[in-house]
Structure 1
Amino acid sequence: MKIAIVGNYGNRNAGDDAILSGLIHTMFTINKDIEITVFTNNKDNTDTVEGVVKESLIYKEKKSKLVNIIFSIKEILKLKQKFDIVILGGGGILMDMYPRDLPLYWFIVKNIVKRDGTLIVHGVGAGPLKTSLGKKIVKNILNSSKVISVRDEKSKKILNELISGNRSIEIIGDPAFGNEHLAISREAGVKKIGITVLPYFADYYWPEYDKEKFEQYKNNIIKLIHGLSENKNNQIYLYSTKYPDDHRLANEIYQETKKQNVILNEEILSPKSLIEFTQDLDLVVGTRLHSLIIGLLVNASIYGIGYHHKVEGFFGEMELENNFFKIDELNVDKLIEEINQSESNKNNIIKANSIYQSKFAKGVSILESVIEEKK
């Protein structure tokens, strides 16, 4: 059985790549004899296991952008109707914030799935969808899919407005929860706090630049680090799951918060090294969603700064609303107060992990059913 996985992989985003590695591990756990091909933005930056084939989403070897597109189309059409199952999964990909991505995903999945094959949308995020073209493409994807699952209630609501007929959309746990990890005991006394940032409305990252919003967010993170570093038992780590964009901002913040107990992690993290790094933390304050998902996976306390509904949805699904803070309304003093009380709230994290494990198991059951049907 030939299975293709299509998503936003290979962009040095450890979160999206953790989705891929978790999905691959889950698929081989279900059936070790399947053949998996991954479509990625960069084959060299995509870690997989032995036996997994990597194909390019789009080829960039040629000099002209137009020539690249034509060449990419020809390469994709060589794989026409090759796969029994095609899985569209990998982060918040059903959105039109970046105009190239949606048409590219739709062109690939509709061409590589067999006539009697199965397309599934698995554990994705949806929105924003602001253009008529974006909505039309997503509607076509949904209508062509046998099974649709998302990570949060808001994504489900967005897609429900586009879907035809009386079809169900399931809410499941993020596929990154399928990654293997070790259960470790954490060191008593010193509290290791990891912080991830995102270039919110930065001119070098966001589709539109808003200096006021960017500076407000940056200054709030600086204030947070200054507040936490006053406790000498806190060891604070700035680390990045998206390189180089997040690391650029993390470095700027670090230069303004240099203290003995503040450390900048320079490593370009893979899914495996991200999990290993997070296992050693007691607590994660994350703007990037997957720093929080991996934090929960290893039972660290987590606090989210929400720049997108997917972050708020993640905390809502786990009944951890008190651990969520909206990015434009961030009360740093309140966040520090919550962090200082994290030990007394540890049972909430254990409960949240159990809730999310159940949601992840629901996603595994969906994959099992699709694979079993195709045997």
Structure 2
Amino acid sequence: MKIGLMGFEFNSANKGCEALVYSFLNIIKDYLEINTEIYNFSGTQLGEVPSYFSNFVFINVEPKLKDLSFNYIKKLSKCDLIFDVTMGDSFSDIYSESFYQGLIRHKRIAELVCKKYVLLPQTYGPFYSINSEKIAKKVFDKAYRIYCRDEISKKMLQNKFGITNSILTSDMAFVLPYDKNSYKFSNKEKIGINVSGLLYRGGFHTENQFGLSLVYSELIDKIIVNLSLKYEIHLIPHVIDLTEQPYDDDFKICRILHEKYPNTILAPAFKTPIQAKSYISNMDIFIGSRMHSTIASFSSGVVTIPISYSRKFEGLFGSLDYPYVINAKLENTDSAYALVMRYIENRADLSESQKKSMQLIEDKNKVFKDSILSILKEI
């Protein structure tokens, strides 16, 4: 069997994107033959992944559509299955229409030449242009199977695109493995804060690109100043790019804040999402702005307070009946801070709600795993 992976970032600054690779391969590894060929069509290097999954043979394919040898298309046509996750949240024109158009082009070709093309659990939309919707429908109509990670996406597929057979699961990163004992900590009560460098500087391209109604930098500073009076504060990056001029990075902002507030602890520059989750799992409370950082804390039993800049947060946690998400597009700085303090004070309620949510996750992940294995058995 030959399996192609699209929209997975094997070696990425974004540990959330990497988490999807590790999680999906962890789900299917026991059901595939040794030396199964895994084709990576993401355009990233393989990174640390092969060392965790030595039973697979990994083949890196540069996604160059203009390659005169047609090597990319030939490799696509070899695959029995293409599994596409679109980085979890990028099946949308929210980040830019040109970026979206590039992703769609690869999906369309994969559907044409591969035997079966499967859209793995992800967020679909929002779509801000009619043209984005039209080309999305072409992809949906050709997909062999479509999984959603939230109810908002499932309802949109049905109401806007007439897709009635999509399967609701949850984010695959909830099953990412971790080792809590791989880090040593003090006995103090610990609050981990994932500071998003993206939000701290206003977005990828423009000031306040995501239309926040609060001042994110002021909120983070206020949280650190006040919580550090009582708790041990850990500043935890989840997007880590150590180059001089990173496109997207949390680590440098965390380091600047650590220098500004030296009573905080700066978490390491993690190499893998497993390392990041292992560190996060030792927190007592976690406040996060990168969605996959909050998935790491949530699924390791840490009381979790997500700060949302996109409906993917509300979609995912709403599907889990977890209402303790702070919407940075609705709250102002003071009201968001007040919610953080209230949720910390009422952490027992959050913990109880998380336990119920995790049961939902287990049920949904069983549905997903059984469904994926049924596809593999068809080949």
Give the corresponding residue for 2:81: 85
Distance across 1 between alignment mates of 2:4 and 2:176? 19
Matched to 2:318, the amino acid is G
Helix, strand or coil for the counterpart of 2:49?
Answer: coil
Distance across 1 between alignment mates of 2:306 and 2:202? 23
Offset at residue 351 of structure 1 (A): 1.9
Distance 1:254 1:58, change over 3 A: farther
Larger deviation, residues 26-35 vs 119-128? 26-35
Unaligned runs of 5+ in 1: 60-68
Give the corresponding residue for 2:171: 174
**2:372 aligns with one of 358, 367, 371:** 367
Give the corresponding residue for 1:15: 16
Q: Does 1:95 align with 2:97?
A: no
Give the corresponding residue for 1:155: 153
Distance across 2 between alignment mates of 1:333 and 1:80? 51
Give the corresponding residue for 1:63: none
Give the corresponding residue for 1:253: 257
Output one character per residue of 1:315-356: Cα deviation in whole Å (capped at 9) or x when no partner. Answer: 2122220x2111130520231231133246422222222221
Helix, strand or coil for the counterpart of 1:78?
Answer: helix
**1:76 aligns with one of 69, 72, 75:** 72
Offset at residue 112 of structure 1 (A): 4.4
Matched to 2:38, the amino acid is I
Offset at residue 181 of structure 1 (A): 3.0
Helix, strand or coil for the counterpart of 1:154?
Answer: helix
Output one character per residue of 1:91-134: Cα deviation in whole Å (capped at 9) or x when no partner. Answer: 11211223344344343344446767111111011223112332
Matched to 1:88, the amino acid is D
Matched to 1:22, the amino acid is S
Distance 1:71 1:99, change over 3 A: farther
- Describe how 1:133-152 pairs up with structure 2 within 5 A: 133-152=131-150
Offset at residue 305 of structure 1 (A): 0.5
- Aligned pair count reads 359
Helix, strand or coil for the counterpart of 2:178?
Answer: coil
Distance 1:320 1:73, change over 3 A: farther
Q: Between the two proteins, what is the percent identity of the paired residues?
A: 19
Distance 1:76 1:98, change over 3 A: farther
CA contact 1:83–1:117 (8 Å) conserved in 2? yes
Offset at residue 280 of structure 1 (A): 1.6
Offset at residue 161 of structure 1 (A): 4.3
CA contact 2:180–2:279 (8 Å) conserved in 1? no
Give the corresponding residue for 1:29: 30
TM-score, with length taken from structure 2 = 0.84
TM-align CA RMSD? 2.9
Matched to 1:360, the amino acid is N
Distance across 2 between alignment mates of 1:162 and 1:372? 32
Give the corresponding residue for 1:291: 293
Output one character per residue of 1:244-298: Cα deviation in whole Å (capped at 9) or x when no partner. Answer: 3222333343344x142x1122413411211211222222111111011111221
CA contact 1:86–1:109 (8 Å) conserved in 2? no
Give the corresponding residue for 1:190: 188
CA contact 1:43–1:55 (8 Å) conserved in 2? yes
Give the corresponding residue for 2:106: 108
Distance across 2 between alignment mates of 1:338 and 1:24? 35
Distance across 2 between alignment mates of 1:13 and 1:72? 32
Helix, strand or coil for the counterpart of 1:254?
Answer: helix
Distance across 2 between alignment mates of 1:254 and 1:127? 36
Matched to 2:316, the amino acid is F
Distance across 2 between alignment mates of 1:73 and 1:309? 41
Distance across 2 between alignment mates of 1:282 and 1:72? 54
Distance across 1 between alignment mates of 2:134 and 2:60? 26
CA contact 1:238–1:265 (8 Å) conserved in 2? yes
Give the corresponding residue for 1:265: 267
CA contact 2:197–2:251 (8 Å) conserved in 1? no
CA contact 2:16–2:238 (8 Å) conserved in 1? yes
Offset at residue 230 of structure 1 (A): 1.3
Matched to 1:3, the amino acid is I
Distance across 1 between alignment mates of 2:37 and 2:46? 20
- Describe how 1:296-311 pairs up with structure 2 within 5 A: 296-311=298-313
Helix, strand or coil for the counterpart of 2:161?
Answer: coil
TM-score, with length taken from structure 1 = 0.85
Distance across 2 between alignment mates of 1:56 and 1:373? 25
Give the corresponding residue for 1:123: 121
Unaligned runs of 5+ in 2: 242-248
Give the corresponding residue for 1:221: 220
